[in-house]
Structure 1
């Protein structure tokens, strides 16, 4: 065991530049981190898997807001995309639009939920979701139509168990509403300055830096402080 904790890191708004795209400065600290790093995102399953490959770390991921994960050569599935199918059909029939064009690369490989552009008819989407027993999560990048019993935090419990850790051993960094469930389970949580109100309220520390600047500062702080004696000591 090393002197730093395992990490669970959001991607968009956390490992990215303000104008979008992964900030390459974040890659080396993640690649050299001696404890497990889990990338947890609302993006479709292939995206975080590919990012792990390009960074050069093991493919430990939580995707689609906790609907699906990969750890130690095992795929963990919680969500059921079929549960959203009739809701999406009703939304479209009522004049709604997912917003991604004819070639929908955002949802093409998504297995457990559906993402909708932020300029969609939110009131209609939430109304339809409620009638189908689903919920809508605003990540700041898209609306996600998903099961209410599906979250990054719940899936972290399963991933941590496979890795032989208590979720409270992890430190989390995230910027959005969908990171709150993770913050509630880890030992310490950080939100960059660009985080939304719910993430800021739930985080143990709100950083001065935005986007990857904040994340890099948090990783430096964690590395310098060493492993705590108990949760919440960073």
Structure 2
């Protein structure tokens, strides 16, 4: 039996430094983890896949806040981008761009939701999203427009089943409102010190340490429970 439990971990704010660069110390920890590692993020699919490849772990991810997962050479979808595209069009018709420039690398590879810069008007975005049956989640890095019932916590059980693991065996580490459902799904959960109030309220334990330091502190708790 593996010494470590299966691990689900966010990227931004959890594996990163404050400037969003990856804390290099976390990479060997993930590489040497003696159980499945699931990178669970709000980023579009290519980003966590690339992180897995650079770290040297199996490509197993939940991306787009639970909109799509990749495990065992299978893509599993939990959201529909069409309504999000309609929200984007109406938001732009109302005089607001998404905030990422013409190339829009934030949304270019996104398949199930829409991400909008946080300096854009949330009230306008939320009103348009609601008309299309969607809602907005503020991850602290962007406003994400997504389907109801689409979350990291909804996607992880499907990933766990394909891995042959009980989702309750997972430990999760995160920092944002988009980690709440994830924390509620797994057996043990840790919010890093920079986490928002929603994540802290949902976590089993809130760490004093922030960002990558927080992740490393969570690893110590997971491996040496009190």
Normalising TM by the smaller chain, what interval?
A: over 0.9
- Give me the TM-score of the superposition, normalised by structure 1: 0.95
Report the Cα offset of residue 78 of structure 1. 1.4
Question: What are structure 2's unaligned runs of at least 5 residues?
Answer: none
Residues 184-217 of structure 1: CA deviation (Å, up to 9, x unaligned): 0100000011000000000010001000101001
Give matches, 1:68-83, under 5 Å.
68-83=68-83
In 1: Cα distance, 2:222 partner to 2:24 partner: 20
Q: Please report the RMSD computed on the Cα atoms of aligned residues, expressed in angstroms.
A: 0.9
In 2: Cα distance, 1:122 partner to 1:221 partner: 37
In 1: Cα distance, 2:73 partner to 2:56 partner: 16
> What's the counterpart of residue 178 of structure 2?
178
Report the Cα offset of residue 3 of structure 1. 2.3
Confirm or deny that 1:196 pairs with 2:169: no
Report the Cα offset of residue 2 of structure 1. 1.5
Q: How many residues get paired?
A: 226
Confirm or deny that 1:91 pairs with 2:103: no
Report the Cα offset of residue 224 of structure 1. 2.6
Report the Cα offset of residue 83 of structure 1. 1.9
Report the Cα offset of residue 19 of structure 1. 2.0
Residues 112-154 of structure 1: CA deviation (Å, up to 9, x unaligned): 1110000001110001011111000000000001111210000
In 2: Cα distance, 1:203 partner to 1:212 partner: 17
In 2: Cα distance, 1:20 partner to 1:196 partner: 16
> What's the counterpart of residue 155 of structure 2?
155
> What's the counterpart of residue 130 of structure 1?
130
> What's the counterpart of residue 206 of structure 2?
206
In 2: Cα distance, 1:106 partner to 1:19 partner: 17
> What's the counterpart of residue 107 of structure 1?
107
Contact persistence 1:79–1:112 (CA under 8 A): yes
